[in-house]
Homo-oligomer: A and B are copies of this chain.
Amino acid sequence: MEARHRVGALFTDLYELTMAAGYWAHGLYDRATFSVFIRGGGTRRDYFVAVGLEDVVTELEAFSFLPEEIAFLETTGRFSSGFLDYLGGLRFTGDMVAMAEGTVFFADEPILEITAPLIEAQILETFILNTLGFQTMIATKAARCIKAAGGRPLIDFSLRRTQGTDAGMKVARSTWIAGFDATSNVLAGKQYGLPLSGTMAHSFVTAFDTEMEAFSAYAQTFPESTVLLIDTYDVIQGARNAVTVAQALRNGGNALVGVRLDSGDMASQSINVRRILDQGGFPEVKIFASSGFDEFKIADVIDRGARIDAFGVGTKVGVSSDAPFLNIVYKLVRYAGRNVRKTSPGKATLGGEKQVFRQLDKGGAFVGDIVGTRHEHHEGAESMLTPVMVNGSPVGARPRLSEIRARFQTQISMLGHEHARLDGPVRYPIRISEGLNAVQPL
């Protein structure tokens, strides 16, 4: 977890390897293009935030089967020794175009295309979908929370309920890209250089004989950064105790930073607590709130007049609870110079290498996207897929996390609010170019 571990070539579905064996046995070595996109039918999201590319590039750069991995495959009894020898020498030698991390995009637009010898490209499917899909899903959910919070800071509190340890790390990074202010995840603070946030849980309060003792002890230890959790027993009394502690801190030349609410009706409680703090002479003490927040609950409590200054956002964002997976797919669109597509009901795909052209107005705002063939031209439009790997090696500068975060902030500011609001957004205009529509399987 600490350093970036190799996920490894065996992180794949068996069928990728059985297909590869079939290709190998029948001489299908030509170059193939696979296209990654999110199917639009039934999605609960109006836009997406591309995240995960850095992990993909890092893994592909070092892609190979280790001897012990080949040895394991041999034990399955499924593969010929000739094929296993071939796998042992396999590296990623292909080209990749992709949308930069932090890019806003839409369903049914390719966000990454790989062109490589068929077997190389086939085997990578599982890893690429897992890596891009999850992080894009989380960044998208987080972006919605940022919208709902209207400028109030958000903090990632999800670590205890993410789906595994890797998810916990990726949620911290993805929510940061979307604009969160900090995370509670200490390891993510170390690994990604993110600001950390956190003070106390109910267990701290209950470990002391009284709430007042717990509050005083914490304030003594962290006189410059105390936030008191005030709802362990009775929130009104908790707020009064916080005023007492705030006075003691002030007498010592410090200041109470805030109080936190973690249960009950957040709108009415925050209004009551705000009154107690103000009447106690502490209008500058902030109110933090946590417990089940996502974009919907944030919007609801703000709508009901909550006096909340910042939100701790946990579980529901960390698993994208209202939409916990994306219909992200990896489809063969071209093989050996031949455009291919399939026609399964509800799962049809268009053939050919593609490009996404984004049309901008004079101020840079997004007007609409055109999904076209890779090499067509649209005057004044930005080409959203750019080369990130050529002949198996990364090209261009790898953006730093701060640059990715800044890119998203620019991107979302260029997407009209009418396309991004939570209630009844206007559908962002996307069209298929005439050139792409004319592509037929050859």
- Bound complex: CA of A266 vs CA of B8, how far in Å? 35
Q: Which of B157, B165, B169, B218 contacts A13 (CB 8 A)?
A: B157
In the complex, the chain B residue whose C-beta lies closest to that of A161 is B325
- Bound complex: CA of A338 vs CA of B125, how far in Å? 55
CB within 8 Å for A22 and B217 given contacts A207-B118, A232-B344, A325-B321: yes
Q: Which of B7, B8, B159, B199 contacts A126 (CB 8 A)?
A: B159
**Least distance between A78 CB and chain B CB atoms (Å):** 7
- Whether B22 pairs with A218 at a CB distance below 8 angstroms is yes
A221 within 8 A of B: yes
A201 within 8 A of B: yes
- Whether B19 pairs with A8 at a CB distance below 8 angstroms is no
A164 within 8 A of B: yes
A204 within 8 A of B: yes
Count copies of this chain in the complex: 2
Interface of A is mostly: mixed
- Bound complex: CA of A167 vs CA of B190, how far in Å? 22
Q: For chain A, give the interface size range.
A: 35 or more
Q: List 17 A-B contacts (CB under 8 A).
A: A12-B159, A18-B200, A22-B218, A34-B203, A72-B190, A122-B203, A130-B160, A130-B162, A131-B165, A134-B163, A161-B325, A163-B167, A166-B166, A206-B341, A232-B343, A234-B343, A321-B325
- Residue numbers of A with Cβ under 8 A of B are 1-2, 5-8, 10-19, 21-23, 25-26, 28, 32, 34, 69, 72-73, 76, 78, 118, 122, 125-126, 129-131, 133-134, 157, 159-170, 184-187, 189-190, 196-209, 217-218, 220-222, 225, 231-234, 262-264, 315-316, 318-321, 324-326, 328, 330-332, 335, 338, 340-347
Return the 8 tightest CB-CB contacts between A and B, nearest first. Answer: A14-B198, A15-B198, A164-B166, A163-B163, A166-B166, A164-B167, A203-B332, A324-B324
